[in-house]
Each structure stands twice: as C-alpha cells, then as structure tokens.
Amino acid sequence: MLGLTGPPGKRAADTRALVLLLTGICAVALTCGPLGATAAAFECGDLTQDGAITAADIISIVNYVFKGGPTPEPPECADVNHDYAVTSADAISLIGFIFRGGAAPSCPPEGVPVTHDGCKLFTVETGAAGPAADQDCMFWLYDGLGTLQIQHLNAGFNCCPGEIHVAVEREVGLIRIIESEHFDGSGGCDCLCLFDLQYEIGDVAPGDYTITVEEPYRNPGDDPLQSEVTRPAGPAADSHCVARSTYPWGTGTSPMLRIVTTFGCKPLGAAVLADSVPSNQDCAVYRYDAGNSVLYLEHLNAGFNCCPVIGADMSVTGDLITITERESPDSLGFCFCLCLFDVHYEIWELPPGAYTIRFVELYLEPGDEPLEFPVDLATTPEGTVCELRSHYPWDY
C-alpha cells in the first residue's frame, strides 16, 4: 500500500456492492497507460520530470512531506526506497544516492486508479451469487486474440480504501498483479471487507504463465493467490480459489465494525440543532436490520478533541459488545479544545440476539455513568439510550 502524507482529500462514498473494470495496465518497465495506447514512462526519483535526478527532486519530496507541496505525479516516483510510503526517508535515500554514491532509487510500479463504490455484504442472497466469504478466487478468460481477462473475486481491502490501485509486472513466464490502496487524509475506516475486481491485460505473448496476485491483507503464512495459465490456440478459461480463514475472509459471521460518517464539532447549548439531542446528553441510537444482519448505531454527542481523526475498535466477548473510541490529530495537529461529535457506526454480520453494548469514551470523568445498555435485537430492533453529562465538553 502506498501511503501518502500530504493534504487530506475526500473519503470515498459509502455503498454496498462492487464490480470493478480495469481499463489500463502497467508493465514491468514502470510504464502506464490505457490499453492500446503508448504508455508514458516515469523515472524513479525524477519528481521534477526534467530527465535527471538532482537536489531539486529532494526539495520536491521535502516540500510535499513537510509543507503541503504538490503531490508527486505519479506518487510512486517519489517512493524511492520502495516501502510503499512517501516520507522523509525517501528524501534521505535520494541524498545518499546523489551525494554519497548510495543505492539507486527503486520505486514500486505505477498503479492504475480504479473508481469504486463500496464492499460486499455476505447475506444468504449475495453469498449465493459468487464465491463464499472464505474463498479468495481468480477467474481468467483468454479471447484467443492476445487479451487475457482476469477477475479477482473477494479481494481484501479496507472498507474505505480511497483509491484502489492495480499494477502489473511482467517477466518471462510470470504476470505479477500488485494491488494497493491509497488512503485520503482520513486514513480509511476501522474495518476490512471484500471487493470484486476485473483486469484486462493485452498483448499476451504465446507461452505458459504463472499469474500471481500480491494482496495487501493476505496473512504472510497463507498461500498466495496464483494460477498456472497455458496460452492456447483459441479461447479458453479457468479458475482457481484459495481458502482463507483470516479477517477479512472467513465464514462471514464474525461481527465487523466500521465508522460510516462523523459530524462535528457541534456548538454547545441546550438545543444544539433542531434534529439533535441537547448538549448535556450523551446518547446512542440503534436500529437493527435483521435481513442483512447489520446494526446501525449512532453515538450522539461523543466527546473528542476539536480537531480529531476519529477511530474506534470493537471487541465481542460473549454477549458484550465493547466499542472503544480513539482519536489521532488531523494534518495540522490537535486543537486546544474539546467538543461534541455525532459518530455513525455499522456493525456487520451481527446475529440477532441479546447483547450489552458498551462505549468506552475518552473524556469521561470519575463518577460518570458509562454509556452502556442492554439490547435484544430479536424483540426490540431499535431504540435510544442517553446519559446526562454536566462537565466539559458536554453542557456545563
């Protein structure tokens, strides 16, 4: 995954199902372009694109990382130490190369960005339409004219991956597909899920190939997804699946938490907004969708720093669901104040039943009652629970 440390962007919209069509490929020579077009190569480390690697390229990395300067184009050309992140370490690597005879820049291949809508829910209906949630599958189709189409079903990514990128490296007898995600400033959601992707690789020369997919969330001890392909004289197709038991794969029955949206910083006062709750109340509103096994959960008037990137972790122990909220600073750092936010969660793959839901909040004081309540999703699928608060950042 290529992580960029520049200015934040807009998080991708939240929807449900995905089929992706990749219309471009990248070759091993670090070239990229649409199928049938002449690809334009980039030189690793040449951020200024002046045909030479100089101190000006070091300055470009420093400006991007520390001063909010222009994003390198493509971003991969600045990742000269090939660690899938653009940081000060890349500037140091270029300094070593230019002034000290150090190692030459080595960038990952440029990926093709793919527009996407969301991730898959494994209900009875959706599970029947494709591979089960514990299957990581590749389907390939050769048209007999030099084009190889590949579907990667149940590819694991963050639930909010920003841009999904795919790069293709070719060697003799090997086609390597490298999948990655490029987060915006929000850093993604606190969950993983499964996507379907489709690639189209042109100009496939005659011969035998091993197709292998490098996946960002495959457990290092698990078998890679790869298939042996013999290019026939005419059209042909085949498939290969690998069973996986680690998250986000598995049986599809382990509950998963994601943050959908956050709203705030909210103004203090007895009547914050016409459609909200008073600022002296700390509330949870829940609604259970039994058909899709999803619990929609809103934490209203959650206390955070005024300038946070909000996150949360969930644990399920027996019938106790604990949501531990956390925060990290945004691109400009924390502010010197606290305020209230509305955080909208979804818990997927949650069977109906009786549970206790507990929020672990950052800014409660000793003696405060925790926001904790019992629910029976089978008999009472929706409700609201509140706790009164009388100190900062709540009404005081």
**Largest Cα–Cα distance in the chain?**
78
Token representation of residue 170: 């070719």
7-12 long-range contacts, CB within 8 A, separation 24+: 7/68, 7/185, 7/331, 8/184, 8/185, 8/186, 8/330, 8/331, 9/162, 9/184, 9/185, 10/184, 11/160, 11/162, 11/184, 11/186, 12/116, 12/117, 12/160, 12/161, 12/162, 12/163, 12/184
- Residues near 105 by beta carbon (within 8 Å), at least 6 away in sequence: 44, 45, 53, 80, 81, 93, 94, 97
pLDDT tens-digit map of 382-394: 999 999 999 999 9
Angle between helices 88-100 and 55-67 (to 10 degrees): 170
**b/e code 194-215 from CB counts within 10 Å (16+ = b):** bbbbbbbbeebeeeebebbbeb
Same domain, 263 and 172: no
Same domain, 141 and 16: yes
Same domain, 117 and 96: no
Token representation of residue 210: 């091993």
Q: What phi and psi, each to the nearest 5 degrees, are found at residue 229?
A: -125, 130
Amino acid 232: pLDDT: 64
Same domain, 19 and 134: yes
Dihedral (CA of 32, 159, 238, 214) sign? positive
Does 264 reside within a domain?
yes
Does 123 reside within a domain?
yes
Same domain, 147 and 228: yes
Report the distance separating Cα 145 and Cα 231, nearest Å. 10
Give the residue from 393, 299, 283 showing the smallest Cα distance to 338.
393
Domain at 84, CATH number = 1.10.1330.10
Report the distance separating Cα 118 and Cα 18, nearest Å. 6
Residue 336: Cβ-neighbour burial (10 angstroms; 0-12, 13-18, 19+): exposed
Q: What is the chain's pLDDT, residue by residue, as a tens digit (396 residues)? A: 343 333 322 222 222 222 233 322 222 222 322 222 223 357 889 999 898 999 999 999 999 888 888 888 877 788 898 776 788 889 999 999 999 998 899 887 666 655 555 577 654 333 335 788 889 999 888 887 888 888 888 899 888 777 788 888 788 888 888 888 877 555 677 678 888 888 778 777 777 889 999 998 888 888 999 998 876 667 888 889 999 888 788 755 568 787 878 888 887 554 444 456 898 999 999 999 998 888 999 999 999 999 888 888 888 888 999 999 998 887 678 899 999 999 999 888 788 999 999 999 999 999 999 999 999 999 999 999 999 999 999 975
Does 347 reside within a domain?
yes
Report the distance separating Cα 178 and Cα 26, nearest Å. 10
Token representation of residue 268: 């203090």
Does 395 reside within a domain?
no
Does 381 reside within a domain?
yes
pTM given for the model: 0.49
Report the distance separating Cα 328 and Cα 310, nearest Å. 7
pLDDT tens-digit map of 319-355: 999 999 998 887 678 899 999 999 999 888 788 999 9
Q: Are 160 and 187 in contact (CB under 8 A)?
A: no
How many domains, the chain?
A: 3
Same domain, 301 and 167: no
Same domain, 143 and 166: yes
Same domain, 304 and 362: yes
Give the residue from 43, 102, 99 showing the smallest Cα distance to 72.
43
Give the residue from 281, 334, 347 showing the smallest Cα distance to 307.
334
Q: Whose structure tokens read 């008073």?
A: 278
Report the distance separating Cα 162 and Cα 177, nearest Å. 19
Report the distance separating Cα 39 and Cα 34, nearest Å. 7
Same domain, 208 and 137: yes
Does 36 reside within a domain?
no
Same domain, 310 and 203: no
Same domain, 207 and 316: no
Same domain, 377 and 285: yes
Give the residue from 334, 339, 343, 327 showing the smallest Cα distance to 395.
339
Amino acid 123: pLDDT: 44
Containing domain of residue 325, as a range? 256-388
Which of 187, 215, 243 is at the close of a domain? 243
Give the residue from 51, 56, 52, 60 showing the smallest Cα distance to 88.
60
Question: Is it true that the peptide bond before 74 is cis, omega within 30 degrees of 0?
Answer: yes
Report the distance separating Cα 343 and Cα 325, nearest Å. 10
